[in-house]
Every structure is written in C-alpha cells, then in structure tokens.
Amino acid sequence: MLAHRRGRVKLTTDAAPARPPRGQRRLVSRSDTVWYHDHVAEHYTLRLAPGVRQRLSEWARRAGVQERTLAQRYVEEGLRHDAHPLIQFLDGPSGRRASLLGRGLDVWEVIATVRDNNGSMAEAAEYLQIPAGLVEAAVAYYGEYRDEIDREIELNEAEYERGRAAAAAGEQALRS
C-alpha cells in the first residue's frame, strides 16, 4: 500500500487507506466507487407525450409516492410484463406482487403449490384448476426472479406459523 509522508511516497503493509499529503485532496469521481455503482440508480431523461405527466402526477398522488418512484415502478414492471406477458402486478395487503393475469393467484402461490406437488407442474395445474400454461408462466417468472418469490413464500409461511401459534394460544386460554 502507498502512504504519503512529507511529500514522499513509501510502501506500507498496514490496511489503512493511503492519505494524500496535508492540504491536498485526492479527487475521486463518485461514479468510480463500487458503492456508487451498487447503490445509486442510473440517470435517464425522457420526454413524455402530452398529458402523460399529469396522469402520472395524479396516480402518484393517489398512491402516496413521488412521481419518479411511480415512473420507475412502471418501467420495471412494464419490462417484466413484456418478458412475461401472463404476469401482472397488483397491490394487496402484503404489498405489490406478481400474479397470474386474470386468475387472482400470485406467482408465489403457484410456485409453492408446484413444490408441494414434488415439482410437478401438471399436478399443480390440476390442483389449482388452471391451465398448465399458466403454471409454466409462473415457473418461468420464478426462474428470473427467484429471490423475490422465495421471500414472499417465506413471509407467507412465517405468517401462517404466527397464526397457528396465536390460535393455539387462544385455545389454551379457553381451556384454562
């Protein structure tokens, strides 16, 4: 590692970052840091057709979010929908989630059912009473967004266990 000392550079072995000589600044572009690339979104400017900005503002106000947040969500979900046309995005008690178009089933529910049927998409489709193609669409989406869907499954399982524990505690209280 290089360290500055009285205008000279010397090699050191300690892990402390090199400091520039007193009174001098080391200029580093924010975009050159790993943190910046991992945590800061890319800037993108676009022109909107007449009336679109007003509609975006109205929807953002209704949703209680900033316009740019809603616009980012629309772009992300639009790209996902283009890649997976049988998947739509809905708000609900557990937040925004991916679901099967026109079926009322969330992707996580379909994936959990496939798992419960030893990976058989045909058996899951029969159990859910939906076409096998919709199960395949959910599995394809899961393949691309596995962490997101696994997190939703884990949250549902935790809520289920919490509900079971509360019911057992209620039954116990009734018996005592």
pLDDT at 42: 81
Rounded Cα distance between 150 and 48, Å, is 36
Q: Domains plus CATH for the chain?
A: 84-175 (1.10.10.10)
Q: What is the pLDDT of residue 1?
A: 46
Q: pLDDT value at position 153?
A: 94
The pLDDT tens digits for 82-125 are 999 999 999 887 789 999 999 889 999 999 999 999 999 999 99
Give the pLDDT band of residue 2 (cuts 50, 70, 90). Answer: very low
User: How many helices and strands (H and E) does the chain possess?
Assistant: 7, 4
Measured between alpha carbons, how far is 24 from 143 in angstroms, rounded to an integer? 51
**Digit-coded pLDDT (tens) for 8-32:** 545 445 555 556 667 666 655 555 6
Mean pLDDT of 31-53: 78
